[in-house]
Amino acid sequence: MGEVPRLKIPGVRFSDGPRGCVMGNSTAFPVAMARAATWDEALEERVGRAIGRECKALGANQFGGICINLPRHPSWGRIQETYGEDPIILGKMATAVTKGVQENVMGCLKHLALNSMENARFKVDVQVDDDVLHEVYLPHFRHVVEQGIASVMSAYNSVRGQFAGQSRELLMDILRDRWGFKGFVVEDFLFGFRDQRAQHLEAALINGDVSQSDVDRAGRAILRSLIENEVLRGDSKPTKDVIFCGEHRSLARESATRSMVLLKNDAVNGRPLLPLGSDLSTVAVVGWQADSKNTGDKGSSHVRCPEVISPFQGIKEALPHAEIVVESSNDISRVKRAAASADAVVVVVGYDFHDEGEYTAPAFNATPALRHVIPPDDDSKEARSVIERLMNPAPKKGERGKDNYGFGTGGDRRSLCLRPDDVAVIKAATMANPRTIVSIVAGGTVIVEEWKDLPSAIIFGWYSGCKGGCALADLLLGKANFSGRIPFCIPTCEEHLPKADNDAEAIKYDRWYGQRLLDRLQVPASFPLGFGLSYTTFSLADLRVDKSGLDQEQLIVRLRVSNTGAKEGRYIAQVYGVVEVPEWPKRSLLGYGLVDLASEEEKDIEFMVSTRPLQRWKSGSWALASRLVEIEVGGYSGDESSLKLKLEM
């Protein structure tokens, strides 16, 4: 796109993401939400570097997989593509992947802004108060832009009555003038809008609707970015040998292992069920996803990976001398038989691209105003194929197809619970065998209250990439320890979430969602933001918090972390700021620090956290919501064992 061979201008060669390079065959990493559960910026930078190498080897020079939209409601169909519910996690993880990606190609940050409804993304107009916009839905975009990103993609939806891709407030006043962005902006892929503007640009210049300086500014931004890219990254091109190479496969396995979250691990016969012993003679792997090679959505983020290891395959490879029985049907009698005769049962259930993901074809069918953006019918075979598939009725929910990018379902979830068939399988397995573990395959919140007391162990396993089955086996058998922490909260019921109207044409976004809303309602989460168990235990001591002399928007956090258990493990020290201000979140995540510890080892750690989440946007400037803040450092939001310290800012 935009190549000028005469001037040796390379143009923009785009690859989508975010779980890998969406060009040809490439490595499928865990989805972005899974990688957010690692809270590991160094690991995410390495993932970004690998993706960037594969993009460049396949001919791309721009990676459009850096999605950081904040999910106001967890039913959002593309929630798997973002990094959690909190602006701090979103900004930090996106900055890390950007740093890695941009060693090889230009990064593209998306979707600016307020894009967290899939079914209605082409038609919905999002209303938002100015303070909420700046305090909740833009801070993570601001952080990534300030750290350096080559390009930004606008959202499909409207904001305050104007398409985001045409919003001077978002793209000029905020992005360029306030944040200092120097790169180029691309609109999401409505080529009809783009082509129509190009066709009428000359007339718009003549009648004054567009100035020559507007055109020059846009052209300079693209040229500057392309020239910088060639100067910084154009000398060498990785060979295609890097695609799905051993290093990248190992990295995918490491990322999957670090991402999986242990939500429950009750005792069976006097000891926690997990880790399982390696002396197992029979393991039953049941549920419709037991042998599924499910890496997530099959829309624009779909990565075509040469090999994917299913949960059954991973467990079978890890236990070559054991009998591994797989039962992928929903036949309850067969599930019970398989479970009853096993030393341990692993139930793998959840979603796939039919349940959540990109929602394209139905939007064209439901929105006649969009039909003019489909390319004109020139009687070619290609044109007829596209038009017929986009304009014909879309498959209904539950119908199976090859993908959901223009040809299937996906979209926003209508329920946050598991399918009734999945719950029936869980009940059957746990009734037959108390040594039952449930692994949830999903991209975001799954409400578990109906059945969470039944299995002895619960794992959030995500869409875990090409090596997810290996990672699951490593964790089940104790070859690795759980270190993942959920980057969102899991409520006890959908009534504790914002009202969801996934087909709305207009909606108001406020600041109350996720853990913030639960705190406001004073209701407990089933699993709070940042929660996750380990095979070991930790203790904290000697908390100190100092103001940074170099940066007034940062604090220096110091504390001692001890591993008090028998296994090595990782602790993620989460720092929250608590202020007593009306109509303000009770508790805000300020940052976090990671530490790896051997059994009975202790370390003093030091890291920086941001005070920006404690600032209010008022009359076009920032000010602290309160000068008095209580700092809490613990293992998750509201952790009763947190260390606490009062601080005057």
Q: 29 near 23, Cβ under 8 Å?
A: no
Residue 596 lies in a domain: yes
CATH classification of the domain holding 567: 2.60.40.10
Question: What are the counts of helices (DSSP H) followed by strands (DSSP E) for the chain?
Answer: 16, 26
Distance, CA of 394 to CA of 582 (rounded, Å): 47
Same domain, 209 and 260: no
Residue 67 lies in a domain: yes
Last residue of a domain, one of 460, 485, 510: 485
Block residue for tokens 């969602």 = 513
Residue 354 has pLDDT above 80, yes or no: yes
- The rounded percent of the chain whose pLDDT value lies above 90 is 79
Q: 368 falls in which pLDDT band (50, 70, 90)?
A: low
Same domain, 375 and 389: yes
The pLDDT score that the predictor gives to residue 405 is 33
Same domain, 183 and 226: yes
Taking only the tens place, the pLDDT of each residue in 52-106 is 999 999 999 999 999 999 999 999 999 999 999 999 999 999 999 999 999 999 9
Residue 455 lies in a domain: yes
Q: How many residues does the chain have?
A: 649
The pLDDT score that the predictor gives to residue 404 is 37
Q: 379 falls in which pLDDT band (50, 70, 90)?
A: low
Residue 519 lies in a domain: no
Same domain, 125 and 12: yes
Q: What does each C-alpha distance from 203 to 134, 197, 199, 214, 218 come to in angstroms?
A: 36, 10, 9, 14, 18
CB-based contacts of 373: which residues, under 8 Å, 6+ apart?
A: 190, 191, 192, 193
Distance, CA of 88 to CA of 621 (rounded, Å): 20
Q: What does each C-alpha distance from 560 to 542, 571, 575, 598, 633 come to in angstroms?
A: 6, 11, 14, 14, 11
Mean pLDDT calculated for residue range 619-639: 97
Question: Which amino acid would we find at residue 411?
Answer: G
Residue 395 has pLDDT above 50, yes or no: no
Residue 515 lies in a domain: no
Most confident of 219-228, 273-282, 498-507, 521-530: 521-530
Residue 68 lies in a domain: yes
Query: CA angle at residue 337 from 336 to 340, to 5 degrees?
Result: 80
Q: What does each C-alpha distance from 12 to 4, 151, 439, 587, 612 come to in angstroms?
A: 11, 11, 41, 42, 35
Same domain, 225 and 255: no
Taking only the tens place, the pLDDT of each residue in 504-516 is 999 999 999 999 9
How many structural domains comprise the chain?
4
Same domain, 309 and 216: no
The pLDDT score that the predictor gives to residue 2 is 75
* CB crowding 150-178: b at 16 or more within 10 Å, else e: bbbbbbbbbbeeebbbebeebbeebbbee
What's the sign of the alpha-carbon dihedral 484, 485, 491, 497? negative
Tokens of 472: 């699951």
Of residues 344, 596, 373, 615, the one with CA closest to residue 483: 596
CATH classification of the domain holding 10: 3.20.20.300
CATH classification of the domain holding 291: 3.40.50.1700
Residue 387 has pLDDT above 80, yes or no: no
Which one is predicted more confidently, 106 or 232?
106
Residue 530 lies in a domain: no
Residue 512 lies in a domain: no
Last residue of a domain, one of 409, 428, 448: 409
Residue 447, domain extent: 250-355+414-485
The pLDDT score that the predictor gives to residue 408 is 41
Same domain, 432 and 571: no
Mean pLDDT calculated for residue range 309-330: 98
